[in-house]
């Protein structure tokens, strides 16, 4: 939640107030962006479909041409360099319009934010501006098939051969990689040092020779996730983000942005509303009516409890953002939002299914089957952006100052640690 100095400076120089900016955005949106027929039930953007990504690229280009892309990104990289107050004002005005919401995560709030913090000047100018124009989609290439929750235990390797880096290994659970242009790839470049010290982050073009990409089909039918296999993929020093063997510093910054993004607290997200129906709040009034429980006291109380949790989460986002900005919370404070969001989403979906009852799992005249389908993937809220268990560790150790958990491989060279290739 650290707003760039450029953004803060630009916001103090601007002659346009937040109110004036909002008024200009209101007029531009009405003239240029497609309206949503039912703002309370926005269309579902299927991140597993190529058409969805092509559509949001076009919408992003509209925002760029209209002067409303990258509100909090610095001007030198194609943004407006404004304070988050301007972004929030735009978000309010944009309710009821189609926006490229699925580009928020991971392109803007994670990848571009990480490049802004740690990339070279050339990487910032090329990739942030291209993403803001809708010309590039960026994704993360972090998780590995045998990695579990130990991100630092990476075994995808990048070996130096002459003036090239040769990458071999595999990544998985990469959201939207099939539709992306570039990925941020974490690989091991030094096996003779402890695991956190021998990693390097690379910016990889996903249509490069040596990359095989496959789609993953989930239990709910979605194919938004991918797995990637790297066979002698060639990269150059220009593809390194940050420093060689200092990739964990970049990765932790990336995780910082990811936790804020998943929790809903990033200044680099543009637009208001859920990017897919898993995150969209259930319409409890409609569910209660369809289930014949509009006057049922217990059902009403359950719905009210879930809505109260959502209101608290929305307030927590602003509180944590300001706390990190003024230094009263460490940068890892974004994990508080990430943890609360996961629990809030689970509560809302569980509550909706409990009220719907049989109608939520059986197709029929009074079917609420969409609720049952959401329940099948409810656990994604506790996994994306790191598990809730990992979030609790971060909060305990890095915010509350609790002692770190014991780790048998701490300080041990990685080539002496048992792992997937031992």
User: How far is it, in rounded angstroms, from Cα 39 to Cα 190?
Assistant: 51
Bridge-based pairing of strands 240-241 and 225-235 is: unpaired
- 316 with 342, same domain: the answer is yes
- 322 with 359, same domain: the answer is yes
DSSP conformation class of 67: T
- 163 with 240, same domain: the answer is yes
Query: Euclidean distance between the first and final Cα of the chain, in Å?
Result: 39
- 286 with 371, same domain: the answer is yes
Would you say the pTM of this structure is higher than 0.85? no
Tell me, yes or no, whether 405 lies in a domain: no
- 121 with 155, same domain: the answer is no
Tell me, yes or no, whether 267 lies in a domain: no
Bridge-based pairing of strands 199-205 and 240-241 is: antiparallel
Whole-Å CA distances, 406 to 174, 343, 390, 409: 30, 27, 14, 9
SS3 382: helix
Q: Which positions ≥6 away from 144 have C-beta within 8 Å?
A: 154, 155, 156, 169, 170, 171, 172, 420
Per-residue pLDDT tens digits for 239-283: 999 999 999 999 999 988 888 887 777 889 998 754 544 456 788
Which domain CATH number covers 352?
A: 1.20.140.10
Tell me, yes or no, whether 95 lies in a domain: yes
Domains: count for the chain: 3
Reading the block at residue 259, the tokens are: 């936790």
Whole-Å CA distances, 47 to 51, 135, 199, 401: 9, 17, 30, 38
| Vertex 31 angle, CA 30 and 35, to 5° | 50
Tell me, yes or no, whether 43 lies in a domain: yes
Percentage of the chain modeled with pLDDT above 90: 61
Range of the domain at 90: 5-135
- 105 with 18, same domain: the answer is yes
- 52 with 118, same domain: the answer is yes
User: How far is it, in rounded angstroms, from Cα 258 to Cα 136?
Assistant: 19
User: How far is it, in rounded angstroms, from Cα 380 to Cα 27?
Assistant: 37
Domain-terminating residue out of 222, 247, 272: 247
Tell me, yes or no, whether 412 lies in a domain: no
Q: Look-up: residue for tokens 């990992």?
A: 390
pLDDT band at 365 (very low <50, low <70, confident <90, very high): low
Omega of the bond leading into 106 within 30 degrees of 0 (cis): yes
- 47 with 127, same domain: the answer is yes
Per-residue pLDDT tens digits for 112-143: 999 999 999 999 999 999 999 999 999 999 99
Per-residue pLDDT tens digits for 170-192: 999 999 999 999 999 999 999 99
**Per-residue confidence (pLDDT) for residue 150, from 0 to 100:** 82
Tell me, yes or no, whether 269 lies in a domain: no
Which domain CATH number covers 27?
A: 1.10.540.10
Tell me, yes or no, whether 264 lies in a domain: no
- 17 with 117, same domain: the answer is yes
| Vertex 415 angle, CA 410 and 416, to 5° | 60
User: How far is it, in rounded angstroms, from Cα 292 to Cα 297?
Assistant: 12
């Amino acid at each position: 939640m650290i707003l760039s100095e450029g953004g803060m400076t630009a916001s103090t120089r601007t002659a346009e107030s937040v109110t004036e900016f909002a008024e200009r955005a209101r007029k531009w949106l009405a003239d240029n962006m497609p309206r949503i027929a039912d703002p309370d039930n926005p269309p579902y953007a299927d991140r597993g479909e190529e058409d969805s990504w092509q559509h949001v690229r076009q919408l992003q280009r509209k925002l760029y041409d209209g002067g409303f892309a990258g509100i909090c990104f610095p001007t030198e990289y194609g943004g407006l360099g404004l304070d988050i107050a301007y972004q929030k004002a735009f978000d309010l005005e944009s309710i009821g319009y189609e926006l490229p919401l699925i580009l928020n995560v991971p392109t803007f709030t994670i990848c571009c934010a990480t490049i802004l913090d740690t990339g070279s000047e050339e990487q910032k100018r090329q990739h942030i501006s291209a993403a803001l124009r809708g010309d590039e989609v960026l994704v993360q290439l972090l998780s590995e098939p045998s990695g579990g929750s130990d991100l630092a235990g990476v075994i995808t390797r990048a070996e130096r051969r002459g003036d090239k880096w040769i990458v071999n290994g595999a990544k998985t659970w990469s959201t939207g990689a099939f539709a992306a242009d570039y990925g941020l790839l974490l690989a091991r470049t030094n096996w003779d040092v402890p695991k956190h010290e021998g990693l390097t982050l690379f910016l990889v073009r996903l249509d490069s020779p040596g990359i095989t990409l496959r789609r993953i089909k989930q239990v709910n039918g979605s194919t938004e996730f991918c797995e990637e296999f790297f066979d002698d993929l060639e990269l150059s020093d220009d593809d390194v983000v940050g420093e060689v063997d200092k990739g964990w510093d970049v990765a932790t910054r990336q995780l910082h942005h990811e936790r804020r993004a998943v929790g809903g607290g990033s200044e680099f997200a543009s637009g208001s509303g859920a990017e897919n129906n898993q995150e969209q709040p259930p319409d409890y009034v409609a569910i209660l009516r369809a289930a014949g429980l509009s006057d049922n006291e217990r059902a009403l109380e359950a719905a009210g409890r879930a809505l109260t949790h959502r209101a608290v989460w929305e307030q927590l986002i602003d509180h944590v953002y300001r706390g990190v900005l003024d230094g009263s919370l460490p940068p890892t404070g974004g994990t508080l939002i990430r943890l609360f969001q996961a629990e809030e989403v689970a509560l809302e979906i569980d509550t909706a299914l409990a009220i719907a009852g049989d109608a939520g799992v059986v197709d029929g005249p009074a079917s609420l089957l969409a609720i049952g389908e959401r329940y099948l993937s409810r656990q994604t809220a506790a996994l994306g952006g790191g598990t809730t268990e990992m979030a609790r560790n971060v909060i305990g150790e890095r915010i509350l100052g609790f002692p770190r958990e014991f780790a048998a491989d701490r300080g041990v060279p990685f080539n002496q640690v048992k792992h997937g290739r031992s």
